[in-house]
């Protein structure tokens, strides 16, 4: 497996959002409940706290190929987080995301998901980005569909989505 890309790739951007790796100080603030003036009023959400609590066990998630904060360009506020569960397993990376309630309905989740998936598909050793979604969460299903992911399997309670590099043979 090759090493992750250089910090030159640390920021991924869209017209409305910047996705950048977490700083250790932000992780500490989330875990100890300290508020930052650079956060939306309802950040962090419960999922952000869970991810921040796992960084000690998964230090690769803090690198340029791991988890990122979602920053609204207009306000400069952190409005969610998104992440790649690094390292890839046989060329596949899983993605996860969350937008705070106050910013939902603006299309930020599919925009961020599409941008980070496109970034991931440029990385060495990555040909597919996947996500599993509980069928009881139709909003998350719509996020993945809008981001260009395709459903490839459905279980009793979970739908499996993926997006792959065009040159990857998915036999």
| CATH assignment at residue 19 | 3.40.630.30
Phi-psi region of 33 (alpha: psi -120 to 50; beta: other; left: phi over 0): left
- Interval 112-128 mean pLDDT: 95
Any domain includes 1: no
Mind listing the pLDDT tens digit for each residue in 70-98? 999 999 999 999 999 988 889 999 999 99
- Count: domains in the chain: 1
- Interval 108-119 mean pLDDT: 97
Q: What integer pLDDT is reported at residue 166 of this predicted model?
A: 87
Any domain includes 3: no
Any domain includes 152: yes
Residue 82: domain span: 10-164
* pLDDT greater than 90 at residue 42: yes
In the 8-state DSSP scheme, what is residue 22? P
Mind listing the pLDDT tens digit for each residue in 13-31? 999 999 999 999 999 999 9
- Interval 132-158 mean pLDDT: 96
Q: Which two tokens stand for residue 136?
A: 């009881």
Any domain includes 39: yes
Any domain includes 4: no
* pLDDT greater than 70 at residue 4: no
Mean pLDDT of the chain: 92
Alpha-carbon span 10 to 168, nearest angstrom: 25
Q: Please report which confidence band the pLDDT of residue 49 belongs to, taking 50, 70 and 90 as the band edges.
A: very high
Any domain includes 75: yes
Tell me the pTM.
0.91
CB contact burial 124-144 (16+ within 10 A = b; e otherwise):
eebbbbbbbbeeeeeebbebb
């Amino acid at each position: 497996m090759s090493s992750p890309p250089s910090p030159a790739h640390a920021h991924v951007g869209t017209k409305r959002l910047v996705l950048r790796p977490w700083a250790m100080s932000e992780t500490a603030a989330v875990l100890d409940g300290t508020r930052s003036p650079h956060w939306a009023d309802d950040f962090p959400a419960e999922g952000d706290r869970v991810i921040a609590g796992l960084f000690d066990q998964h230090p690769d998630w803090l690198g340029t190929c791991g988890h990122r904060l979602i920053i609204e360009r207009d306000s400069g506020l952190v409005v969610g987080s998104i992440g790649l569960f690094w390292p890839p397993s046989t060329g596949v990376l899983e993605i996860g995301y969350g937008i705070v309630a106050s910013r939902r309905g603006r299309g930020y989740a599919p925009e961020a998901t599409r941008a980070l998936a496109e970034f991931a598909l440029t990385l060495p050793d990555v040909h597919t980005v996947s996500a599993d979604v509980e069928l009881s969460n139709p909003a998350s299903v719509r996020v993945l569909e809008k981001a260009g992911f395709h459903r490839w399997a459905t279980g009793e309670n979970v739908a499996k989505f993926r997006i792959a590099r065009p040159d990857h043979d998915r036999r």
